[in-house]
Structure 1
Amino acid sequence: MAIFFCYIIYFFLILRFCVTLFNFISNPKLTKVSHQYHDLVSILIPARDEEKNILTLLQSMESQDYQNIEVIVLDDHSSDETYNLCANFAQKHPLFKVIKGKPLPNGWLGKNYACHQLAQQAKGKYLLFLDADEEVENGLINSSVYRIKVHRLALLSLFTNQVMVTLGEKTVVPLMHYMLLNLLPLRLIYLSKNPAFAAASGQFMFFEAEKYHQYQWHEKVKNQVVEDVEIMKQVKQNRLKGEGLLANGFIRCRMYNGYQDAIHGFSKNFLAPFNYSIVTFLLYLVFLIGGPVLVGLTLNLQLFLMMLSLIVLTRIMISLSSGQNAVYNVLLHPLQMVSLIVVAYLSITKYLTKTVTWKGRKV
């Protein structure tokens, strides 16, 4: 019986390895282009209690090589100095402005409503939604405009490079790219019309403005925690084209500061990729974590070494694709799996008790 389960585990492991290999070989990254575009791009930034991060993003936007932009920050009822910092910055830079958000209506989540308000203020041919804790590099906007024009996209989303400082962050944050590149062939987001192949990152959502205003994407998903994925599904369901790519160093973000912050942040929406099915999520964890443990208990050295080789190769390919340190991710893999169990427990508990909160709001 144990050998039978080992075969099932190996099938699951090889299948995920093949997905990772496909992503590694197909190299789904945003590439830099030399041709210069000049369409107006509206940079839209919802911000709530971001006094520690917001100026880094604004300064990196101000020094961008793409000139035809407007930058609008919406202060979403911050309790810190976010609004004053942005207002002072905007006084010195005419392409920037800051507005105050309206009270949150019933049925809306905070970020979704903030993005909806920002879109109403935007004048650009393209709308780029960014999180306030990011930093961008030259070439990002121009390359994104090229991609959306050539592929005739309604939505381009980038999975940003993640900055990790503490050991705690390194045992949690890599789980995002690990699960993404280990489960979903990214090229199918664009190539397949099936909404099941939908993924996106709210850290970078780049829309063709005419289509955005026509469909009012954030209003359609106003009460969704994982609005980015839901919008990509909506795009595909409306027979439009969307694409998700790795950021390739064009944009980076330090999502969380420390282990506790990362665990809490990840637990608020970790069930979403599994359509909030606790059974499916638990089965995934059984095969992902319990499987290798079972193989180890068989004391079959050949099977164990084969399994270990697949795991190590998978971690190396994902790390190289996402711009992370492969050595760290291989060595920290056991701790990352422990962190995944902690995130799973908190995520399921919060979902069942309906106690998911973020930045002082219930979600």
Structure 2
Amino acid sequence: MTSLDMVRWIIGFAALIVGVLMFWSLPVPFSSAGSSKGLPFLSIIIPARNEESRIVPLLKSLQEQRFVRFEILVVDDDSSDGTAAVAASFGAKVLRGEGAGKSSACWHGARQAEGSWLLFLDADTKFVGTDGLRDLLHFYRDQGARGIMALQPFHTVERLYEHISVIFNIIVVVGMNLFTVWGSRFKTAGSFGPCILCDRNDYFLSGGHQKIEGAIMDDLALGEAFVEQGLPVRCLGGKGIISLRMYPEGIGSLIEGWCKSFAVGSKSTHPAVMLMVVFWIVGGFTAAGFLISSLFEPNLTAVLLSGFLYLLYIVQTAWFAGRVGNFKKAIFVVYPIWFSFFIGIYLYSFIRVNIFHSVSWKGRKIKV
């Protein structure tokens, strides 16, 4: 085995160790409570723009919840489809937004809400079981019922192209700075966006979505607004509680969605965490390069070592992905393809944000 092969082995193995430090754990809410006694009235606020086909699973899952002391406010953000009619058919109270984006819709809903706690949900989420909502509320109360508790929903995948999102899903979680081996040593980057639970008084004390209106990454900005007021922001995984299916409309929507958020959102990731992410990705490509080059060398040791290193990356990437979504294990045999998609879309997002200063989302051109 050549000295170059040894360097590749060291880099690849070291990157695997860094990966473990980078994504040490992803806690999920848990509750041993057996009833809904003592939980306050809840307002569920769902900003929705052209979500006629995607909001139905969420509304169905809310109808199935055994905890029933809540109201549903769907804020129609200038939809051109039947979103409002679908929401009304499930008994939701439909509010007409001002057509100024998600933050504006959330703020409008919060002002109309009657609950002591507010739960902001993206329209493409849904609760997994009949006690998911109750368990989430109990856990929030057990943690002191202050500030934000945000869940990153478990990503459900149905079509092959949706696997392109796998590395993005991992990095979105890691980029919050909270899931390394050092726990909360690094300041949170903000809040997850699809599922945000907070106390009503804390929300208005922070300025809520009105304060962050115009922010591209409204979830991160909202979390920062709470932190500025000395309020806690807890971010957790949603596995077993809440799920979502991202970008079922097609690959174009997927690219547009990640482009909208990723280059901007990565600026909130702590430099140390970002460095670990970069090294982990470099290590993945190094392992793949080592394997390919060893196949052209008549050296059994190099083939065995490179194959073992590549196998370890397959297992680790699949392990990380299993925390954030139901991605098929077979796809990780070609994990460099998914790493490459991540880099390509990230660079495209970086160019759109930093050179053209605009991104597109749901028919709107957003200046950044």
Aligned-pair distance for 1:19?
3.1
Aligned-pair distance for 1:237?
3.9
Closer, same or farther: CA 199–192 of 1 in aligned 2, 3 Å? same
For structure 2, the residue ranges without an aligned partner over 5 or more in a row are 295-301
Q: Is the 8 Å Cα contact of residues 122 and 194 (structure 2) preserved in structure 1? A: yes
Separation of aligned partners in 2, 1:54 and 1:103: 18
Closer, same or farther: CA 134–181 of 1 in aligned 2, 3 Å? closer
What is residue 72 of structure 2 aligned with on the other side? 71
What is residue 28 of structure 1 aligned with on the other side? 27
Q: Is the 8 Å Cα contact of residues 319 and 326 (structure 1) preserved in structure 2? A: no
Separation of aligned partners in 1, 2:95 and 2:176: 38
Instruction: State percent identity of aligned pairs.
Output: 23
1:127 to 118, 123, 131: 118
Quick one: which amino acid aligns to residue 359 of structure 1? Answer: K
Separation of aligned partners in 2, 1:190 and 1:234: 24
SS in 2 for 1:269: helix
What is residue 52 of structure 1 aligned with on the other side? 53
Q: Is the 8 Å Cα contact of residues 74 and 99 (structure 1) preserved in structure 2? A: yes
Quick one: which amino acid aligns to residue 77 of structure 1? Answer: D
Q: Is the 8 Å Cα contact of residues 54 and 133 (structure 1) preserved in structure 2? A: yes
SS in 2 for 1:312: helix
Separation of aligned partners in 2, 1:207 and 1:151: 12
1:360 to 338, 363, 366: 363
Summarize deviations over 1:257-284 as a string: whole Å, max 9, x none. Answer: 232322221121111342089x979956
Count of residue pairs brought into register by the alignment: 346
TM-score by length of 2: 0.83
> RMSD of the alignment, in Å?
3.0
Q: Is the 8 Å Cα contact of residues 42 and 118 (structure 2) preserved in structure 1? A: yes
1:312 to 311, 314, 319: 314
SS in 1 for 2:240: coil
Closer, same or farther: CA 188–66 of 1 in aligned 2, 3 Å? farther
Closer, same or farther: CA 321–199 of 1 in aligned 2, 3 Å? farther
1:236 maps onto 2:238 in alignment = no
Q: Is the 8 Å Cα contact of residues 162 and 173 (structure 1) preserved in structure 2? A: no
Separation of aligned partners in 2, 1:338 and 1:122: 44
Quick one: which amino acid aligns to residue 358 of structure 2? Answer: T
Q: Is the 8 Å Cα contact of residues 75 and 100 (structure 1) preserved in structure 2? A: yes
1:1-363 equivalence runs, <5 A: 2=4, 7-8=10-11, 10-20=13-23, 22-23=24-25, 28-37=27-36, 38-90=39-91, 96-104=92-100, 110-136=101-127, 137-152=129-144, 153-170=146-163, 172-180=164-172, 186=178, 192=184, 194-195=186-187, 197-198=188-189, 200-257=191-248, 258-275=250-267, 287=282, 290-296=285-291, 299=294, 300-301=302-303, 303-325=305-327, 327-351=329-353, 352-363=355-366
Aligned-pair distance for 1:326?
5.2
Greater alpha carbon shift after TM alignment, 220-229 vs 313-322: 313-322
Closer, same or farther: CA 315–42 of 1 in aligned 2, 3 Å? same
Greater alpha carbon shift after TM alignment, 222-231 vs 123-132: 222-231
Greater alpha carbon shift after TM alignment, 111-120 vs 343-352: 343-352
Closer, same or farther: CA 119–182 of 1 in aligned 2, 3 Å? closer
Summarize deviations over 1:193-246 as a string: whole Å, max 9, x none. Answer: 743x33532110111111001112322322221121232233334332221111
Separation of aligned partners in 2, 1:188 and 1:237: 23
TM-score by length of 1: 0.84
Separation of aligned partners in 1, 2:161 and 2:183: 37
Separation of aligned partners in 1, 2:138 and 2:118: 14
Separation of aligned partners in 1, 2:183 and 2:140: 14
Quick one: which amino acid aligns to residue 66 of structure 1? Answer: F
Closer, same or farther: CA 190–6 of 1 in aligned 2, 3 Å? closer
Quick one: which amino acid aligns to residue 96 of structure 2? Answer: K
Summarize deviations over 1:266-315 as a string: whole Å, max 9, x none. Answer: 121111342089x9799569725543345446634355235324312312
Closer, same or farther: CA 188–308 of 1 in aligned 2, 3 Å? closer
Separation of aligned partners in 1, 2:182 and 2:227: 9
Separation of aligned partners in 2, 1:4 and 1:184: 31
